[in-house]
Structures are given as C-alpha cells and as structure tokens.
C-alpha cells in the first residue's frame, strides 16, 4: 500500500515537473524580448516571420521542407527569432556602409555577437505578396521614436535566392521625417517596374540614442 502511494506521488511529481518545465520553456522567449525594441512586422522581417510562423512549433521537423530558410535560422541560433526585435547596432553615425559590409546587410553587420548571421543566408525565404504601392508597418515595442526611417527595395534583376545582398543592389523608396514615440509606425511607399521576389530593406534610426535597426523583408510583387 505504501509502495503504491509512493509510486503515485512520484508520478504526480514527475508530471508537475514536466508541466513546470514546459511553462518555463514558453517563458524563455519573452525574457529576451521584455526589454527589447522592435521590427518591421509587415511585410514581415525575416526573423519576425520565422518567429510568427514557427515560434510555437519550432521543433517541428516539417519546417525543414516547408520553410527551409527558417529551418536553417532556427538551427543556427534560435535566439535570432526569440529576439526578433533586437536586430540593431549602436554608434553607426549614419554611415551605414562603413559598418555593414556587403553580404551582411540582413544581420546588421553580424551584430549582437553574430546572433542574426543566418538572416544573411541566400535562399528561398518566404515572401509577403505586395502591390506596387504598399505600406511598411514597423512595431516599436519600446517606444523609441524615430529620427527617420529609410525604406529600400532591391533592383529588378537581383535574385535573393542566389545572390548575397549588397548596398549597390538597393534603391531608395522613401526617407521619412521624424516619428514621435509610439508603438506603431506606417510608411507608404510606391514602386514601378518591379516584379517577382525582392528584398525590402528598412533602416530605422531610433531617437533615444544612436541606435539603428536593419531589417530585411522578402516580398513578391504581384
């Protein structure tokens, strides 16, 4: 009788421990983002999109076939997705090509100790369908504000599935004025003559200090 009771107690304790572990695992992502910053959420930046699609199912092996670029990103460093809102550099002084070499634009020049390096990987990233006139939506969790936001798009003929992104591949669509601190900013942009897979590259210069976010979003022009 006592042995049976001890066995039941042990099973209950193990179940409780498993539940606690699951709860703690769910909390881990948010510990990285609680004091974080923001990102482009539409069209989704590469790591935000991977977090949005797979954050609750990131160990699913089907990701390897269904979403291979996100798969390689999760394998390289899951914190790139948990911290989807922390892809920034400090102290760039507005001279971005000087601190971010060609081929490293999507990782912000391998910022944060290389956490976001996988975002530079060339391949078939999932795309957001857009029209020639579309809106970039940026979510600013920490309400930093913006001195300005730059929105670029890759030139026609650039192939994100085979070519690393270079500064010379970008054409400027819009430079905004200053944004007062808020949670969400919208930037309307217009294009012409573009079709197929392109990268929208957004540079967000925060207002609270010399802190700059570098964000790659893959789009498909309808």
Distance, CA of 167 to CA of 154 (rounded, Å): 9
Encode burial over 47-59: b for 16+ CB neighbours within 10 A, e otherwise: bbbbbebbbeebe
State the CB neighbour count (10 A cutoff) for residue 148: 15
Burial class for 14, CB neighbours closer than 10 Å (0-12, 13-18, 19+): exposed
Which H helix or E strand runs over 93?
Answer: none
pLDDT of residue 36: 64
Look at strands 128-130 and 211-221 and give their pairing: parallel
Name 104's Cβ contacts closer than 8 Å, sequence gap at least 6: 110, 120
pLDDT along the chain (222 residues), means of 10: 47 42 36 64 98 97 98 98 97 96 98 97 98 98 96 98 98 98 97 97 96 98 93
| DSSP-derived 3-state class of residue 42 | strand
What does the chain come to in residues?
222
pTM above threshold 0.75: yes
Name 171's Cβ contacts closer than 8 Å, sequence gap at least 6: 152, 153, 154, 155
pLDDT of residue 38: 96
pLDDT of residue 29: 38
Q: What DSSP string runs through 112-175?
A: HHHTTGGGG--S----EEE-SEEEEEEEETT---EEEEEEEEEPTT--TTTS---GGGEEEEEE
Q: What is the DSSP letter of 193?
A: S
Look at strands 133-140 and 184-190 and give their pairing: antiparallel
Distance, CA of 197 to CA of 184 (rounded, Å): 26
pLDDT of residue 25: 36
């Amino acid at each position: 009788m006592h042995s049976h009771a001890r066995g039941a107690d042990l099973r209950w304790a193990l179940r409780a421990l498993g539940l606690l572990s699951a709860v703690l695992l769910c909390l881990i992502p948010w510990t990285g983002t609680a004091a974080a910053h923001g990102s482009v959420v539409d069209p989704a930046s590469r790591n935000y999109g991977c977090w949005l699609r797979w954050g609750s199912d990131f160990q699913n092996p089907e990701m390897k076939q269904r979403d291979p670029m996100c798969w390689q990103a999760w394998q390289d460093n899951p914190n790139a997705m948990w911290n989807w809102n922390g892809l920034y550099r400090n102290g760039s002084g507005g001279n971005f090509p000087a601190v971010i070499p060609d081929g490293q634009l999507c990782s912000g020049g391998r910022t944060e100790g290389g956490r976001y390096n996988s975002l530079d990987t060339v391949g078939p990233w999932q795309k957001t369908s857009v029209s020639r006139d579309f809106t970039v939506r940026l979510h600013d969790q920490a309400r930093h504000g913006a001195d300005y936001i730059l929105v670029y798009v890759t030139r026609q003929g650039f192939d994100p599935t085979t070519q690393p992104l270079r500064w010379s591949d970008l054409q400027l669509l819009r430079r905004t004025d200053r944004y007062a601190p808020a949670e969400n900013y919208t930037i309307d942009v217009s294009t012409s003559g573009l079709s197929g897979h392109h990268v929208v590259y957004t540079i967000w210069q925060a207002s609270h200090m010399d802190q700059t976010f570098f964000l790659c979003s893959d789009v498909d022009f309808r």
